[in-house]
Structure 1
Amino acid sequence: MRYMKSGSTKLALTVAALLCVSFSAGAEQPAYKDLNKSFEERAADLVSRMTLEEKIAQLGNAAPAIPRLDVPEYEWWNEALHGVARAGAATVFPQAIGLSATFDEKMMFEIATAISDEARAKHHEFARRGLRKRYQGLTFWSPNINIFRDPRWGRGQETYGEDPWLTARMGVAFVKGLQGDDPKYRKVDATAKHFAVHSGPEADRHHFDVHPSERDLYDTYLPAFQALVQEGKVASVMGAYNRVYGESASASPRLLQQILRKDWGFDGYVVSDCDSIEDIWKHHKIVATAPEAAALGVRYGCELDCGKTYDALLPAVKQNLISEKEIDAAVGKLMLTRFQLGMFDPPERVRWAQIPYSVNQSAEHDQLARRAAQSSIVMLKNDGMLPLSRDIKTLAVIGPTADEVMSLLGNYYGTPAAPVTILQGIREAAGKQTKVIYSRGVDLVEGREEPRAVPLIDANFLRPDANSKEQGLKGEYFRGRDFAGAPVMTRVDSRIAFRWDRGAPTDDLAARGELSNAQALAGDDFSVRWTGQLLPPTSGKYELVVGANDGVRLYIDDRLVVNGWDQNERVKSHSASVDLEGGRAYRIKLEYFEDIRDAEIRLGWRRPGAKAPFVEAMDAARAADAVVFVGGLTGDVEGEEMKVSYPGFAGGDRTDLRLPGSQRKLLEALQATGKPIALVLTGGSALAVDWAQQRLPAILMAWYPGQRGGNAVADVLFGNVNPSGRLPVTFYKENEKLPAFDDYAMQGRTYRYFTGQPLYPFGHGLSYTRFEYSNLKLDRANVAPDGTIQASLTVKNAGSRAGEEVVQLYVAPKDSKQQWANKDLRGVKRVALKPGEVGNVSFTLEASSDLRHYDVNAKRYTVDPGKYEVQVGASSADIRARQTFEVKR
């Protein structure tokens, strides 16, 4: 995509240029400012001019400025897992596991290109405004390419699933889309994480030492990293918290020096996971002090410390634990990447600096988010209920994630401009002919205080003042928590329901020119005051409920009824019971401040005589012709090292693969009404829905589908889109006895080694049409260990609807004496066919890579001679055609 300079863009570049290194002409110009020299020469010269203290300071993620050298401060920490995260307004695509469910490398590249467009535009806008803090740079700690080996792992949602080949393909496409194709300047830095052998349990990640077999290490845990390094040319690799074979993964001679740099030829930089260098001495007890841990990290190949432990490098040098020369090498790599990103060059020279801010949340990106969500949705079961009939008069949408924005987002996300919940998407798609009624029914999990469960106070019960014809409350937005000075922005907010993910609510307005830089709020530490009138419809006792991060106060007729001003924690629910008279106008004032992260505020109420949610849901089902139950999980209960302890959950991980008990109870009661039920699941991991599979006519897996997820789900439910997502993980049955969570042996895990009967196999996904496979042919019967073999076949759409088939090719050994996997995915092709249309599909197998396995005796990858089987089908278990061939030396 090319971008032309407008007048405003030229002005922005002129201002941005003033923030860059100044370039003076003349004989005294230092080499690092000489644009004609190589980046390597310039980086080396710059490092040579730094003091030891300055060099050490540059090895932390929050690198300070060096004014005498014209080096601006730089914060290395940034996130872009499925969109630019934690930096205010950004397009939010489906969570990583959902992107993987598309089985579509081309779409992944397109999405990563959109993300890096927004990232570049954001960075230059931040720099124009003098902002160089966390989440404002160009170095992104994504993607997460750990293998999702166990469905209990809460962070599995961040990965591309359980298969090394699919993870590699999706990861390489993502890295290439992020880093761009410019021969001189890299667009942004991608980071392959967490290297290596890391996938839970979250509670033990700072302590455990994993000893995988050599075969599991090389055949399962390392291949995706190798692909991203050698094929994707990833700029950075992040270490893991855990130990591997007794060595810290963030300071491992074997992982970082031998495998990563010597064996694979990696020439980028390594960053620690946050405070994992501190773990070396504090938790792993490999050494006794912080200076020793810091020295160990730098010596064994970790250039950048996310944390503070590298501050101890100065005493480490004085104690002769490490030399200044070793520190120079580390700083040199970090300065080199900053040159490669164009940070020290005039922006008019950098192609990527021309991207306008308007790409952020553009209509093009919004539609891409919708297409991605459509392609990610997996139809697990359909006995004919779907697509929903347009003759349905009344449709009940029930469940705790139906109208929940968090069910769209997962974790590591930005702030979408107008997220569409599943309820909203269904209402838009249903049209006027179908009445849609909604009830949440139950909370997400038992025992969880859920401020988002309370109905919001709608705009028609609020007005800014007695004389206003507008609906809602007047919002005044201030810097700081004390409402000092004039508000930077005043507007009418129709409902109080906001979630600003580590970005101030005025950031995007300033970037678009709707507010001046002087007016805009910057990041955290702001406050909002909403005022107006509350108009209760009937008389009685109301429960006013405020859910908020940080501080909040609510006044009714100047009387303080909710006081949570001193709280400093995650979303908490505050309530007050008040008697209100119908038809009377009450003065209302709501004050809120935010100074931590993840700003969130909601104002809701329970009205007099309201039914219990469970009863309301049952009544809705009885009044409807059909039910869509939307349940599952959200990022509130599964994720990274969380303080979560509910039935079925622990520390962000899961202890029970079933739907939470509260949801199971309601679902069973709804099914007893006899109404047909389509189950839509949200979540980032496999769910054991055995009961639903046996009794419900239709089940969809929607993952965390991003900002347009509600539209995408509705598109599939009503048949406007034919589902084509495929499972990137195995869904196990609820009574399956899985290996111990902390056992990293692959035996008995994933479709590659599991020998039982899954609930839904890896690669599974149904369609509204039927596809037939025929004429599988191999171009040869024998192949050399370094040769190639081509497989071709015909696929026909034998149904009555257009659709996309995801053709999957697996390779299985037939007579190997080695302990191979059951089979391995080695090819995927998406084929779009109209009814009756026939398509030709071909795959090329490279024996040296597609048939290799790690020989523990030879200590290298080898290709065994013998017979192999090519299996082509619609999933790992639904094989439609087979052919054998032989490897001969």
Structure 2
Amino acid sequence: MFMKIPILILVTLLQTALVAQDTAWRFMDVSLSPNLRALDLSSRLTLTEKCSLLMYNSPSVSRLGVAGYNWWNECLHGVARAGKATVFPQAIGLAATFDTELIFQVADAISTEARAKYMAARRKDNLSQYTGLTFWTPNVNIFRDPRWGRGQETYGEDPLLTSLMGVAFVKGLQGDDDSHLKTAACAKHFIVHSGPEAGRHHFNADPTEADFYNTYTPAFKALVEAGIESVMCAYNRTWDEPCCGSSPLLHDLLRTKWGFKGHIVSDCWALDDMWLRHQVVNSEIEAAALAARAGTNLNCGSIYHFLPEAVEKGLITEATVDTLLQPVLITRFKLGLFDPDSVSPWRNLSPDTVNCLIHRQLAYKAALESCILLQNTNHVLPLDESKLKNIFITGPTAAEVDALLGNYNGFSGNLVTILEGITNRLDPGTMADYSRGCLLSGDSVFHGFWQAGFSDVVIVSMGYTRLVEGEDGDAMLSNHGGDRIDLGLPGNQIEFLHRMRKTYPLKPIIVVITGGSAIDISSIQPYADAILLAWYPGEQGGNAIADLLFGEANPSGKLPVTIYKSVDDLPPYEDYSMKSRTYRYFSGKALFPFGFGLSYADFNYESALTDQTVYSQGENIHLTVKLKNTSKVVGTEVVQVYCDYPVSGESIPKKSLVAFARIEVLPDSLQSADLLIPMDNFKLWDSQLNDYQIAKGTYHLYIGSSSQDVQMTKTIEIR
């Protein structure tokens, strides 16, 4: 008996050593490619283990030393739902910068904080949700209708702007290391998904083929070409097939035609919708099989618990499971989730990088560039503090943290509200008072007018917060699933401003609007001297807004959406046709056009020259625009170039953005903007060819400061 124990110990130690040697040689061998490591690991797994690793909350496989991993994490505009992190402006605000380099820097900062937080969580053995390195962002759906509460998560209504912003964000998130992913990005929601929120689990999107390829897919295709690691399939049906169960969408288009190599993850509990709401199958097992056959690799939800049973019943084969698992494991290996910290390029990142000074400064810069000056009557802005003795700050969002955050947000100990930002920068000799004035909505009591009577200027912060608009289930004050049913401000806020103006008709009133969508402000324009659209500006929003109001900085943001005069200008919300939607197809008069944004500087477009006038297919267009700042302050203009087409028809855009460039111009100076316009930016879908085609003929290039403010026109021919 006493001899058996040492022998058993010896055998156990020998087996452990052999397993360790074997695993080190194969899937634990960091010198092998992620593909080979994934193949080796998969070959060692049982069917049940394989299926478990296709779940978003993947359990451990202890016999192989595989740790559990939760795939669900968010970083739309900063690491979200995970404690301390830098909060950048909401995505729609980032789009308003028209600054792809800034977007890359923001995403790079986010991924740096994500890595630092991941390593800190690992040291605490914290493997819970929102600690991983797989981030389900960016949202590159097209903001086709301003009523959509989640439109704030997007980069606006234009396919090119969305593509360029999305690519920059993905590159910043994923890093440039040849053998490792810094973090894994995910393009969502594939595809044709933009409300209504209340119907997202059961509606069927039925776009025309031209709209599908000219509007809804270009950004996803651009991100695939940029090497995005993941794509999220949407809740809805498109052309009568659930997106997560559609082989034509996931296999034929995404993987075969576009060459996507990463993994596809379902939106959370979207597979349940296939049998409970879309009712295209009759059970959880059939839903699991349908999604697996279509190519959904990873299930956010619980339906893939039924995959082993689907194999047992012959609905799918184990080979299908193997095919699904391979890209999932490859992502984990590319992220270094099986590797020691010593081989990580980011092993020396300190937790101190989280919300560090450099990142807070970047959040401030992003907030500055995102704000849009919509109105500035008689040049009331910028304010000259030396001439102000008393300031009154009021409005329902002035002291409201939720007006900074938007949705899918992180949290910071450095959140600066609009009230705090203004008071932070005031001279001690300048008096300031504050009253909320009214609530966000409802029949609120108006008060606080008497402070306005003693002030030299009134600053009113109003609009929306994430409590009113956002995702279904999150916007607690919304009665419409986070959507809006009209485009205007809440009636009580309009009445509040009206009473303020009526009581003090000569008082300068500056309005700051917070929100995540196109807001019809025509009802308050007569009562406001200046209007600044701040979106959800992030943690440094208060400081940025204050510096813009007082002239420490100059507004340079441009609208990534069209602001319509009325909801009556729009087609039915449920209609996914692009007819009469966005600046590309809308023929009416907008309140503010796509690309609009004022500055304290004045710019003259002096000249525009192309390198030639006739181009062959495949040649890029080089355009040089000379711009003069005729004012006494430095300013930044976003030079925008749009084209029309030599063909016409309902499916042909009236015009499309083909290039833009941010350019800073010193006072009384001339500056050149050099724009490279890829020939691909002129392509449109040809249903007869079943592919994109660049129409031959004459194009006009419209150059100016918005989609409507055309300063110059150049004519080119493409042969």
Same fold flag (TM > 0.5): yes
Alignment equivalent of 1:223, drawn from 213, 218, 225: 218
Structure having the higher helix fraction is 2
Task: Return the offset for 1:35.
Answer: 2.6
CA–CA distance in 1 between the matches of 2:21 and 2:584?
Answer: 64
Residue 706 to residue 23, structure 1, CA distance change in 2 (3 Å)? farther
Residue 270 to residue 643, structure 1, CA distance change in 2 (3 Å)? closer
Residue 376 to residue 29, structure 1, CA distance change in 2 (3 Å)? closer
Alignment equivalent of 1:292, drawn from 286, 289, 311: 286
Residue 88 to residue 644, structure 1, CA distance change in 2 (3 Å)? closer
Q: Does 1:59 align with 2:64?
A: no
Alignment equivalent of 2:154, drawn from 155, 159, 166: 159
Alpha carbons 2:563, 2:591 under 8 Å: kept: yes
**What secondary structure, in the 3-state scheme, does the structure 2 residue paired with 1:714 have?**
helix
CA–CA distance in 2 between the matches of 1:788 and 1:34?
Answer: 45
CA–CA distance in 2 between the matches of 1:635 and 1:211?
Answer: 29
Task: Return the offset for 1:23.
Answer: 11
Task: Return the offset for 1:691.
Answer: 2.3
Task: Return the offset for 1:841.
Answer: 1.3
Alpha carbons 1:206, 1:241 under 8 Å: kept: yes
Residue 23 to residue 797, structure 1, CA distance change in 2 (3 Å)? farther
> What does residue 241 of structure 1 align with?
235
> What does residue 495 of structure 2 align with?
665
Alignment equivalent of 1:327, drawn from 321, 326, 333: 321
> What does residue 871 of structure 1 align with?
702
Amino acid at match of 1:96: A
Q: Does 1:676 align with 2:508?
A: yes
> What does residue 283 of structure 1 align with?
277
CA–CA distance in 2 between the matches of 1:686 and 1:385?
Answer: 24
> What does residue 637 of structure 2 align with?
805
**What secondary structure, in the 3-state scheme, does the structure 1 residue paired with 2:533 have?**
strand
Q: Does 1:438 align with 2:434?
A: yes
Residues 383-427 of structure 1, C-alpha deviation per residue, up to 9 Å, x if partnerless? 111111211111111100000000000001111112000000011
CA–CA distance in 2 between the matches of 1:148 and 1:860?
Answer: 24
> What does residue 86 of structure 1 align with?
81
> What does residue 423 of structure 2 align with?
427
Residues 762-798 of structure 1, C-alpha deviation per residue, up to 9 Å, x if partnerless? 0000000101102211222211222222221211111
> What does residue 3 of structure 2 align with?
none
Q: Does 1:109 align with 2:104?
A: yes
> What does residue 356 of structure 1 align with?
350
Task: Return the offset for 1:30.
Answer: 4.9
Deviating more after overlay: 685-694 vs 25-34: 25-34
Amino acid at match of 2:411: T
Alignment equivalent of 1:341, drawn from 330, 335, 341: 335
**What secondary structure, in the 3-state scheme, does the structure 2 residue paired with 1:690 have?**
coil
CA–CA distance in 2 between the matches of 1:381 and 1:35?
Answer: 58
Q: Does 1:714 align with 2:563?
A: no
> What does residue 471 of structure 2 align with?
640
**What secondary structure, in the 3-state scheme, does the structure 2 residue paired with 1:668 have?**
helix
**What secondary structure, in the 3-state scheme, does the structure 2 residue paired with 1:136 have?**
coil
CA–CA distance in 1 between the matches of 2:481 and 2:443?
Answer: 15
Task: Return the offset for 1:24.
Answer: 7.5
Residue 342 to residue 645, structure 1, CA distance change in 2 (3 Å)? closer
> What does residue 143 of structure 1 align with?
138
Task: Return the offset for 1:181.
Answer: 0.5
Amino acid at match of 2:46: T
Alpha carbons 1:816, 1:864 under 8 Å: kept: no
Residue 811 to residue 25, structure 1, CA distance change in 2 (3 Å)? same
Alignment equivalent of 2:396, drawn from 394, 400, 404: 400
CA–CA distance in 1 between the matches of 2:687 and 2:704?
Answer: 32
> What does residue 383 of structure 2 align with?
388
Amino acid at match of 1:394: N
> What does residue 787 of structure 1 align with?
619
Alpha carbons 1:816, 1:866 under 8 Å: kept: no
Amino acid at match of 2:35: E
**What secondary structure, in the 3-state scheme, does the structure 2 residue paired with 1:653 have?**
coil
Q: Which 5+ residue runs of structure 1 have no aligned equivalent?
A: 1-20, 449-612
Residue 36 to residue 761, structure 1, CA distance change in 2 (3 Å)? same
Alignment equivalent of 2:524, drawn from 692, 696, 717: 692
> What does residue 723 of structure 1 align with?
555
Residue 267 to residue 643, structure 1, CA distance change in 2 (3 Å)? closer
Alpha carbons 1:769, 1:800 under 8 Å: kept: yes
> What does residue 5 of structure 2 align with?
none
> What does residue 590 of structure 1 align with?
none
Alpha carbons 1:348, 1:354 under 8 Å: kept: no
CA–CA distance in 2 between the matches of 1:92 and 1:397?
Answer: 24
Alpha carbons 2:80, 2:408 under 8 Å: kept: yes
Amino acid at match of 1:325: A
CA–CA distance in 1 between the matches of 2:527 and 2:583?
Answer: 25
Task: Return the offset for 1:737.
Answer: 2.7
> What does residue 686 of structure 2 align with?
855
Alpha carbons 2:569, 2:588 under 8 Å: kept: no
Residues 87-139 of structure 1, C-alpha deviation per residue, up to 9 Å, x if partnerless? 11000000000011100000000000000000001011101110111000000
CA–CA distance in 2 between the matches of 1:623 and 1:717?
Answer: 20
CA–CA distance in 1 between the matches of 2:336 and 2:351?
Answer: 18
Q: Does 1:618 align with 2:449?
A: yes
**What secondary structure, in the 3-state scheme, does the structure 2 residue paired with 1:813 have?**
coil
CA–CA distance in 1 between the matches of 2:52 and 2:46?
Answer: 10
Task: Return the offset for 1:726.
Answer: 0.6
CA–CA distance in 2 between the matches of 1:614 and 1:641?
Answer: 30
Q: Which 5+ residue runs of structure 2 have no aligned equivalent?
A: 1-15
Task: Give TM-score, length-normalised by structure 1.
Answer: 0.77
**What secondary structure, in the 3-state scheme, does the structure 2 residue paired with 1:630 have?**
strand
Residues 22-42 of structure 1, C-alpha deviation per residue, up to 9 Å, x if partnerless? 998746755112233222111
CA–CA distance in 1 between the matches of 2:628 and 2:262?
Answer: 46
**What secondary structure, in the 3-state scheme, does the structure 2 residue paired with 1:614 have?**
coil
Alignment equivalent of 2:63, drawn from 65, 68, 76: 68
> What does residue 191 of structure 2 align with?
196
> What does residue 413 of structure 1 align with?
409
Aligned length: 700
Residue 234 to residue 653, structure 1, CA distance change in 2 (3 Å)? same
Q: Does 1:173 align with 2:3?
A: no
Residue 661 to residue 27, structure 1, CA distance change in 2 (3 Å)? closer
Amino acid at match of 1:703: W
Alpha carbons 1:98, 1:376 under 8 Å: kept: yes
Amino acid at match of 1:420: V
**What secondary structure, in the 3-state scheme, does the structure 2 residue paired with 1:400 have?**
coil
**What secondary structure, in the 3-state scheme, does the structure 2 residue paired with 1:351 have?**
coil
> What does residue 574 of structure 1 align with?
none
> What does residue 124 of structure 1 align with?
119
Residue 400 to residue 84, structure 1, CA distance change in 2 (3 Å)? same
Q: Does 1:744 align with 2:576?
A: yes
**What secondary structure, in the 3-state scheme, does the structure 2 residue paired with 1:112 have?**
helix
Task: Give TM-score, length-normalised by structure 2.
Answer: 0.95
Task: Return the offset for 1:206.
Answer: 0.5
> What does residue 655 of structure 1 align with?
485
CA–CA distance in 2 between the matches of 1:60 and 1:278?
Answer: 14
> What does residue 460 of structure 1 align with?
none
Q: Does 1:41 align with 2:32?
A: no
Alpha carbons 1:649, 1:656 under 8 Å: kept: no
Amino acid at match of 1:306: C
Alignment equivalent of 1:774, drawn from 594, 606, 611: 606
> What does residue 882 of structure 1 align with?
713
> What does residue 666 of structure 2 align with?
834
CA–CA distance in 2 between the matches of 1:22 and 1:676?
Answer: 79
CA–CA distance in 1 between the matches of 2:299 and 2:17?
Answer: 28
Alignment equivalent of 1:183, drawn from 150, 172, 178: 178
Amino acid at match of 1:327: V
Q: Percent identity?
A: 46
